[in-house]
């Protein structure tokens, strides 16, 4: 557990970066610090490992004041991940990951064995071990940075905007990988971001910082979305917070219904007959897994005899009963047919639901309103 008690950081000249901060970071959970630039979230993070020294107050880690421990020894027991991975450019990947074990006096064989294990755990092949950081993509460098932070198996990890320097697709992949690792490892993690969506997705708890280094609200993501503490928090989470709140509502009781279906190789005449007066038919494979949507109103349908994969448009994100209603709604909005496609545990088609039907279901359940619709 990490506890801030009346923590203040004041710089020469009088600028206050953190102002009388009181908060508790629970063990084994992810606590996200979020807020606008200059609100003190990164400063607060760096006060934990004393890469910045506080002006007044106390920070306790498992009941021990961090200032009672030599700063270097403190940092060796806390994993630290920053933007771009912060890797040493003239060291190989394997030696980057083994940095802290080397500093702790591990023999080279043991340190490298641990590094190889962690590269595999963060999803990098063994062949990357001898590469240098410049030979890796941004996402791969971030994975190495996470592996290095985990190398000495620290109970605490600090992460300063670790995914902000990569493109959105890689970022989403890294976030999923990070959540999977945390489920396995159960570290106490403090993560800084300026992105409220990332905070909601990753955090067990979210600490919202306001300008002047003040804590505006500390709560679960769902409660921050449902009950912002003040106008500042309300503005930060946005007017579409009801939509974001769908991340915490599952689709287990969402009714789905059949839609016209066909198969690859089926005759286009049969596909058209299946839809009757509708436009879209869903193509399934032999195991009834969705392949894509076919628009039977296309003029070139008259020139082909069978349903071909080249004519199919993306199904988008499918969902199960355990999926969030946000995923269901996203799937419907992204679908060319306007339907989100449900599947079972084996990926087989179970039914579909339209955007309007999602909104009606939420209204009937007295859930979060979907105002953007």
Residues 26 and 117 in one domain: yes
**Chain segment 33-47, per-residue pLDDT in tens:** 999 988 999 999 999
Closest CA to 323 of 340, 339, 348, 338: 340
Residues 108 and 235 in one domain: yes
- Is the pLDDT at 1 greater than 50, yes or no? yes
Residues 220 and 306 in one domain: no
Range of the domain at 335: 261-364
- 15-30: burial string, b at 16+ Cβ within 10 Å, e else: eebbbebebebeeebb
Residues 329 and 297 in one domain: yes
pLDDT band for position 305 (cuts 50, 70, 90): low
Which of 26-30, 84-88, 139-143, 275-279 is modeled with the greatest confidence? 26-30
CATH number of 351's domain? 3.10.580.10
**Token representation of residue 81:** 């991940």
C-alpha torsion 111→113→115→120, nearest 10? -170
- Please list, in sequence order, all residues whose beta carbon lies within 8 angstroms of the beta carbon of residue 278, skipping any fewer than 6 positions away: 260
Q: What is the mean pLDDT of the chain?
A: 87
- Is the pLDDT at 367 greater than 60, yes or no? no
Residue 211: half-sphere exposure toward Cβ, Cα within 13 Å? 3
Q: According to the model, what pLDDT value does residue 307 have?
A: 74
Which helix or strand (DSSP H or E) is residue 37 part of?
none
Residue 251, domain member (yes or no): no
Q: From the centroid of its chain, how far is CA 304?
A: 43
Q: Report the number of distinct structural domains present in the chain.
A: 2
Residues 12 and 126 in one domain: yes
pLDDT band for position 373 (cuts 50, 70, 90): very low
Looking only at Cα atoms, what is the longest distance across the chain? 79
Q: Alpha-carbon distance 195 to 277, whole Å?
A: 45
Helix, coil or strand: residue 261: strand
Task: Give Rg (Cα) of the chain.
Answer: 25
Residues 161 and 230 in one domain: yes
Residue 250, domain member (yes or no): no
* Of residues 331 and 305, more confidently modeled: 331
Q: Alpha-carbon distance 61 to 2, whole Å?
A: 5
Domain-terminating residue out of 239, 269, 304? 239
Domain-terminating residue out of 174, 206, 239? 239
Q: Alpha-carbon distance 47 to 63, whole Å?
A: 16
- Please list, in sequence order, all residues whose beta carbon lies within 8 angstroms of the beta carbon of residue 77, skipping any fewer than 6 positions away: 152, 154, 155, 156
Residues 126 and 270 in one domain: no
Q: From the centroid of its chain, how far is CA 169?
A: 11
- Is the pLDDT at 26 greater than 50, yes or no? yes
Q: Alpha-carbon distance 166 to 177, whole Å?
A: 14
Residue 207, domain member (yes or no): yes
Phi and psi based region of residue 292 (left: phi greater than 0; alpha: psi -120 to 50; beta: remaining): left
- 269-280: burial string, b at 16+ Cβ within 10 Å, e else: eebbebbeeeeb
**CA angle, 234 as apex, 247 and 200 as ends, to 5°?**
30
Residues 163 and 287 in one domain: no
Residue 46, domain member (yes or no): yes
- Is the pLDDT at 366 greater than 60, yes or no? no
Q: Which residue is it, tokens 């106490």?
A: 188
Residues 112 and 199 in one domain: yes
Residue 173: how many other CB atoms lie within 10 Å = 15
Q: What percent of the chain has pLDDT over 90?
A: 49
Residue 253, domain member (yes or no): no
What's the length of the chain? Answer: 373
Q: According to the model, what pLDDT value does residue 326 have?
A: 87
- Is the pLDDT at 79 greater than 80, yes or no? yes
Q: Are 365 and 373 in contact (CB under 8 A)?
A: no
Residue 223, domain member (yes or no): yes
Residues 176 and 283 in one domain: no
Residues 165 and 214 in one domain: yes
Helix, coil or strand: residue 32: strand
Pairing of strands 2-10, 16-25: antiparallel
Q: According to the model, what pLDDT value does residue 304 have?
A: 61
Residues 224 and 323 in one domain: no
Q: What percent of the chain has pLDDT over 70?
A: 92
Residue 245, domain member (yes or no): no
Closest CA to 87 of 45, 161, 148, 131: 148
- Is the pLDDT at 369 greater than 50, yes or no? no
Helix, coil or strand: residue 79: strand
CATH number of 105's domain? 3.40.50.300
Residue 292, domain member (yes or no): yes
**Token representation of residue 77:** 């027991």
pLDDT band for position 372 (cuts 50, 70, 90): very low
Q: Which residue is it, tokens 């049969």?
A: 270
DSSP secondary structure string for all residues of 174-185: HHHHHHHHHHHH
Q: Which residue is it, tokens 């490892």?
A: 185
Which helix or strand (DSSP H or E) is residue 330 part of?
helix 325-334
Closest CA to 64 of 5, 129, 126: 5
């Amino acid at each position: 557990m990490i506890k801030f008690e009346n923590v203040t950081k004041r710089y020469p000249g009088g600028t206050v970066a953190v102002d009388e901060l009181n908060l508790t970071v629970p063990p084994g959970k992810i606590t996200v610090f979020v807020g606008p630039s200059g609100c003190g979230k990164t400063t607060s993070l760096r006060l934990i490992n004393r890469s910045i020294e506080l002006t007044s107050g106390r920070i306790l880690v498992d009941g021990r004041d961090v200032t009672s421990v030599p700063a270097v020894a403190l940092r060796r027991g806390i994993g630290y991940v920053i933007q771009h991975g912060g890797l040493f450019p003239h060291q190989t990947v394997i030696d980057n990951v083994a940095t802290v074990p080397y500093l702790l006096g591990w023999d080279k064989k043991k340190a490298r064995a641990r590094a190889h294990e962690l590269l595999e755990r963060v999803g990098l092949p063994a062949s990357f071990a001898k590469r240098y950081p410049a030979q890796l993509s941004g996402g791969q460098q971030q994975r190495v940075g996470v592996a290095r932070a985990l190398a000495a198996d620290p109970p605490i990890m600090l992460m300063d905007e670790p995914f902000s320097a990569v493109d959105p697709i890689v970022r989403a992949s890294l976030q999923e990988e990070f959540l999977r690792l945390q489920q396995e490892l159960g570290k106490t993690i403090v993560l800084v971001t300026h992105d409220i969506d990332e905070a909601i997705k990753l955090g067990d708890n979210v600490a919202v910082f306001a300008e002047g280094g003040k804590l505006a609200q500390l709560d679960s993501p769902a409660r921050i979305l449902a009950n912002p503490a003040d106008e500042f928090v309300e503005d930060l989470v946005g007017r579409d917070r009801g939509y974001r709140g769908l991340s915490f509502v599952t689709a287990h009781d969402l009714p789905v219904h059949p839609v016209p279906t066909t198969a690859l190789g089926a005759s286009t005449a049969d596909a058209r007959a299946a839809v009757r007066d509708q436009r879209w038919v869903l193509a399934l494979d032999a195991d009834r897994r969705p392949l894509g949507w076919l628009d039977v109103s296309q003029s070139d349908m008259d020139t082909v005899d069978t349903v071909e994969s080249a004519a199919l448009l993306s199904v988008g994100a499918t969902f199960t009963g355990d999926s969030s209603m946000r995923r269901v709604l996203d799937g419907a909005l992204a679908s060319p047919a306007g339907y989100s496609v449900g599947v079972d545990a084996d990926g087989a088609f179970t039914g579909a639901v339209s955007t309007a039907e999602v909104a009606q279901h939420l209204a009937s359940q007295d859930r979060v309103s979907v105002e953007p619709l």
